[in-house]
Structure 1
Amino acid sequence: MTIKKLQALNNNTAVETVAEAAPASLDAGKAPRIVEAAAPALEEKPARKRGGRSLLLGATALVLIAAGAYYGHDYWTVGRFHISTDDAYVKADNSTIAPKVSGYLAEVLVMDNETVKAGQPLARIDDRDFKAALDQAKADVAAAEAIVNAKQASLDIQQSTIAAARATLDVDRANETFAEQNNKRYSNLATSGYAPVQTAQQAASQIAAAQAAIVRDSASLDAAIKQVDLLNAELAQAKAALARSQAVQHQAELNLSYATITAPVDGTVGNRTLRVGQYVQAGTQLMSVVPTTSAYVIANYKETQLTDVRAGQPVDIEVDMFPGRTYHGHVDSLAPASGQEFALLPPDNATGNFTKVVQRIPVRIVLDGDAAANGDLRPGMSVQPSIDTKNDRS
């Protein structure tokens, strides 16, 4: 009953409103008919709104269910097997360029960010001092070689002296034999009276002279033989001096070659700090050569993420510098220890209060195909690798 009264009240209000708004020229009997026709239309609008809202809610629910099913299926079949992190960076084995000798820079042959090849000259140090040192070393080698040759000649002469001494000794022994034979012969003749006693005595004295000559020449032979040992020692000493001079010459040649600083690997020049006329010390860093074509990725994964990570697993790599582009690689190896083990001051958890912190293990990722060869990835870039562990999960 109350509802009907409210409806009647609403209808009367609508009639009055329309009647007041109608022009005065209209008949009084026509206005109620207009109101009676408009009143049902006002009642139909809330019902239509409720129907449209229900349809929209239903469609939204269906879309949410479909999206949830899609992403749920994707996670269950693919997503849960992909291990990703944003704590990853491109790395390369940079070569630090430092001179091996000290001196003043005469030439700088490369500019910043210039691409170089292995063996290409990068800079030259003034080499006049090194050339002078090499000339001196060559002269020392020549002098040492002359001494060696002289010692070798002396040794050869000594061998001839020994041969002559032996021949002289053979003559002395022959003279001794002849003197003994003469002594025997003249002694018999003197005894029988056919030769004077003086002749027999002379023959006997010749034996003594021959024996003395043998002793003398034997001593000379021994001395000549011992002289060979001395000459051999002097020859060895001369050869050692020659070897030392040759080593000094070789070092001088190396120092001269070190005056030209070359690139050890293919790469790009960076961090160049040298200038012409600058005095550089051996071992001072002058620049770096970055091998951009052999870059790799170091990803610091949480230890809880590495349960199923193995070497050889495929990796998709997204690079912050190239949005929308995906590079491919594979897991090369896992570090033997967490990052804090190699820190300058590793934490000592045996003292004080302990707060457990999830550790991170560096994972080395090698790029596949031409991903590294084209040189797009530069050391230090931030990347987001995602390791596919599906085939290695039990």
Structure 2
Amino acid sequence: MSNPEANNPPVPAPAVAASKRRPALLAVAGITVLAGLAWGSYWALVLRHHESTDNAYVQAPVVQITPQVGGTVLAILADDTDIVKAGQPLVKLDPADAQLALERAQAQLAQTVREVRTMYATNGTLSANIRLREAEVARMQSDVSRANEDVNRRQPLVATGAVGGEEMKHAENALAGARSALAGAQSALAAAQEQAVSNRALTEGTSVENHPNVQRAAAAVREAYLALQRSELPAPVSGQVAKRTVQVGQRIAAGAPLMSIIPLDQVWVEANFKEVQLRQMRIGQPVKLHADIYGSKVEYDGHVVGLGAGTGAAFALLPAQNATGNWIKVVQRVPVRVELDAKQVAEHPLRVGLSMEAEVDVAEQTGQPLTAASNARATSTQAFDRNQAAAERIVHDIIAANLGRPLATRVSSAAPATQRVALSTSPARPAR
């Protein structure tokens, strides 16, 4: 009887273990291949159409508050972290100097009006003087004619002895004196005519109200009024106050920075992408953003609006000196401006300098390249549109008062500045 173990020799242990690992290795290899294919497909279909960076920060306009005139600070009406509205007073300066300048300008305007009135009145005086000189010339001409007749009448009688030589001499002297007087009267008439022409040159073709001297003095009143208005500094935009440096009692000069206002409704994101990430970016491409302050639960929608003019290194305070011997290439980053959805920013406010994560969807390639010029985004403020109606009313009233006309609104030069500023805002009536 044969032994079964002799016919089937035992399988070595390593071969048994290898036969058991082979299915597992095949399974791992299959899973790896599938994962690679899945990842490749995901990259080809999704990831290659997105560029992301965490080197992105919130930016906003920093509006500096600077006075247009110098003065001493009397009051500070807003402090750091305060929310202010456009046109809201922020700082008040001492208006005493501007008030005195306005009063001087008002007095000068009144004096100028009276001086110009005197010019016009002088025209009548000079015309009367010309008529007087003309009458004198006519009288002198009559005297010359009479004296000449006396000489002509006496001259034939001298030979007959009917008229003595002495009498003839007196007649000739009288004729000479009359001629001299006539010459003097004619010279006086010419001088009066020249003086009248000179005075008319100062008044022709205009009225007292529109005379250049009056207009110059009126402009000085408007300028002084504007300087008085500028003693109060309004907020040019709505936003939050930051970096207040001004103090009460401080003497400040025109143009000195006092504080800043950050309009938090105008924030944008500056995403600094690497050079190689900009190839497929276009203006208008959608951007998804997350702020570190809110985390991934809050997502902002934005879009690309422009590309910076240079890399950060080019505009650095101390730019890199790449021409040196020890040079290492560093991939540069270029700031890309991303506009945010205003409604989302209002729901989840941001602050300047906050960190953001930005991801741009570059699948859409129909937009303009980043190098193209973007549409201008103009900003403006109406906080400094001073109401000049009150200044025009002051000028009109001063002119009317010094012309002897009734005043629409009489304003005393000694009245407080606030009283004069609070005049009617209706348009000033034109001077008649």
TM-score (norm: length of structure 2): 0.64
Quote the residue 2:351 is aligned against.
378
In structure 2, relative to structure 1, the CA distance for the partners of 1:208 and 1:103 (3 Å cut) is closer
SS of residue in 2 equivalent to 1:89: strand
Please tell me whether the aligned partners of residues 190 and 196 of structure 1 are also in contact (alpha carbons under 8 angstroms): yes
Q: Which amino acid is the alignment partner of residue 304 of structure 2?
A: V
Instruction: Tell me by how many angstroms 1:383 deviates.
Output: 1.2
- Name the residue aligned to 1:325: 298
CA contact under 8 A between 2:72 and 2:252: conserved in structure 1? no
The partner residue of 1:267 within 239, 250, 256 is: 239
Q: Which residue of 68, 72, 76 maps to 1:108?
A: 76
Distance 1:131 1:331 in 2: 51
Supply the AA of the counterpart residue of 1:388: D
Name the structure 1 match of 2:228.
Answer: 256
Q: What CA distance in whole angstroms lies between the structure 2 residues aligned with 1:161 and 1:374?
A: 84
Contact kept? 1:162, 1:221, Cα under 8 Å: yes
Residue type of the alignment partner of 1:115: I
1:346–1:210 CA distance, 2 compared to 1 (3 A): same
How far residue 371 of structure 1 moved from its aligned partner, in angstroms, is: 3.6
CA–CA distance in structure 1, aligned partners of residues 274 and 307 of structure 2? 12
Paired residue secondary structure (1:370): helix
**Cα 1:145/1:357, change in 2 over 3 Å:** same
Q: Which of residues 255, 265, 279 is equivalent to 1:293? A: 265
**Which amino acid in structure 1 is aligned with residue 273 of structure 2?**
Y
Shift, 1:390, TM fit: 1.6
SS in 1 for 2:299: strand
Q: 2:192 aligns with which of 224, 227, 248?
A: 224
Secondary structure in structure 2 of the residue aligned to 1:83: strand
Counterpart in the other structure of 1:354: 327
Residue 342 (structure 1) aligned with residue 315 (structure 2): yes
* Distance in 2 between residues matched to 1:166 and 1:83, nearest whole Å: 99
Task: Spell out, residue by residue over 1:301-337, the C-alpha distance to the aligned partner (whole angstroms, 9 max, x if none).
Answer: 2122111222222222222222222222222211222
1:136 paired to 2:104: yes
Q: Give the Cα–Cα distance (whole angstroms) in 1 for the partners of residues 266 and 227 of structure 2.
A: 31
Q: Secondary structure, in 3 states, of the residue corresponding to 1:339?
A: coil
Higher percent of residues as helix:
1
Following superposition, the deviation at residue 169 of structure 1 comes to: 3.0
Q: Which runs of 5+ in 2 are unaligned?
A: 11-19, 204-210, 370-432
Aligned residue runs from structure 1 range 1-394, under 5 A: 1=5, 71-154=39-122, 156-173=124-141, 176=144, 186=153, 208-228=176-196, 249-275=221-247, 277-282=248-253, 283-322=255-294, 323-372=296-345, 376-392=349-365
Q: Give the C-alpha shift of residue 83 in structure 1.
A: 1.6
Q: Could you tell me how far 1:202 is from its partner in structure 2?
A: 7.9
Give the superposition deviation at 1:119: 0.9
Structure 1's unaligned 5+ residue stretches are 7-49
Match of 2:313, SS state, is helix
Checking the alignment, whether the CA contact within 8 Å between 1:102 and 1:279 is kept in structure 2 is no
- Does structure 1 conserve the Cα–Cα contact (< 8 Å) formed by 2:239 and 2:263? yes
Against the structure 1 CA distance between its residues 352 and 68, is the aligned structure 2 distance closer, same or farther, given a 3 Å change threshold?
A: closer
Larger Rg: 1
What secondary structure does 1:135 align onto? helix
Quickly say closer, same or farther: Cα 1:273–1:227, change in 2 above 3 A. Answer: same
Q: Distance in 2 between matches of 1:268 and 1:139?
A: 43
CA drift of 1:91 comes to: 0.8
Query: Offset at 1:264?
Result: 0.7
How far, CA to CA, are the matches of 2:51 and 2:329 in structure 1?
A: 22
Question: What letter corresponds to residue 93 of structure 1 in structure 2?
Answer: P
User: 1: distance between equivalents of 2:57 and 2:320?
Assistant: 24
- Kept in 2: contact 1:190–1:200 (CA 8 A): no
Shift of 1:167: 4.4
For 1:154 and 1:225, locate their aligned partners in 2 and report how far apart those are by CA, in whole Å.
Answer: 13
Separation of aligned partners in 2, 1:167 and 1:351: 99
